[in-house]
Structure 1
Amino acid sequence: MFSCYAPTLEASKEKKDQFYKQLNTAVNATPSEHQLFVLGDFNTRVCVDHDIWRGVLWRNGVGKQNLNGIRLLVFCAVQKLAATNTVFQQSNKLKTTWMHPRSGHWHLIDYVITRQRNLRNVRLTRAIRATTVWSDHHLV
């Protein structure tokens, strides 16, 4: 299991390249017979277009993708990984994890990612709205 924090949309291409290179190394170092879970704030929005990203995204995504989203989707497609947040049908308030500070809109930017073949072992991925601490992120 890996926990990570990806560079934001405003970060340099070099920082993003370095992050994905390190993540690629970590994923490749995990034996194929082991279950793999990558949890993190990927600072990315993926789309709802599960037809194009078959196996990576499922029918229950949220919103539009950004440039960081394309990078994450390509990485997942190459590594045969799936974003479990898009698998389960539930309301958006149980999927979205971050509130944009200016618009106040909620987006899905924190993901639980696993190998596509291990999806059967995931029972539910959802955002938890804490009642004791305010944050612009919800736990997944």
Structure 2
Amino acid sequence: MIKTSIVSTLESLRTGYSDRIINKEYATILSVYATTLQAKSEEKDRFYSELRHVLQRTPPADKMIILVDFNARVGQDADAWKGVFGRHRVGNCNDNGRLLLEICMELQLAITKTIFQQKYKLKTTWMHPRSRHCHLIDYILVRQRDLRDVLHTRVMPSA
């Protein structure tokens, strides 16, 4: 969600790296749609390699906001992934989650959704159709050093 008064300016700045990674200049806002858990390992490797390359090319002084549909569950193991998590985590980790966590550790990114205490229904972004279990699979990532600039991150139910 972006302030209405600047949307028209941002729309004219669209830069695409691929059909899955779009960059908005100035604030360096990346909109990313990752491969699914069922994707072939070659496709996943290609996606994460491309994402890593794009993130590494972002100037170190820039603020970076990454809006991500990662189809990944990152779990709750904050000890293993220091600096990536806040205290408010949900669920278990899956293979895509591990790939996301590796990039976060390597590039010193933090998952903002886990920083703020919220009701459970506002922490999760997807419900499995058969099991009816709720999961957090969509994320907003920022550089760890920029966490002080994040005032709140919240799910919009039924968005």
Quote the Cα distance in structure 2 between the aligned partners of 1:26 and 1:2.
Answer: 9
**Count of paired positions:** 131
Counterpart code for 2:48: Y
Q: TM-score, normalized by length of structure 2?
A: 0.79
Quote the Cα distance in structure 2 between the aligned partners of 1:92 and 1:82.
Answer: 20
Name stretches of at least 5 consecutive residues in structure 1 with no aligned partner. 131-137
Quote the Cα distance in structure 2 between the aligned partners of 1:87 and 1:53.
Answer: 14
Q: Does 1:42 align with 2:82?
A: no
Matches within 5 A, 1:1-140: 1-130=29-158, 138=159
Quote the Cα distance in structure 2 between the aligned partners of 1:59 and 1:52.
Answer: 13
Q: Pick the structure with greater CA Rg.
A: 2
User: Which protein has greater RCO, CA pairs closer than 8 Å, 6+ apart?
Assistant: 1
Q: C-alpha offsets along residues 75-96 of structure 1, whole Å, 9 cap, x if unaligned?
A: 1100110111111111221110
Q: C-alpha offsets along residues 43-87 of structure 1, whole Å, 9 cap, x if unaligned?
A: 000111212111011211101001111111011100110111111
- Please provide the CA RMSD for this pair: 1.0
What secondary structure does 2:100 align onto?
helix
Name stretches of at least 5 consecutive residues in structure 2 with no aligned partner. 1-28
The alpha-carbon deviation at position 123 of structure 1 amounts to 0.5
Quote the Cα distance in structure 2 between the aligned partners of 1:93 and 1:122.
Answer: 21
Instruction: After the TM superposition, list the runs of 4 or more consecutive aligned residues in structure 1 that deviate by more than 6 angstroms.
Output: none
Quote the Cα distance in structure 1 between the aligned partners of 2:39 and 2:89.
Answer: 25
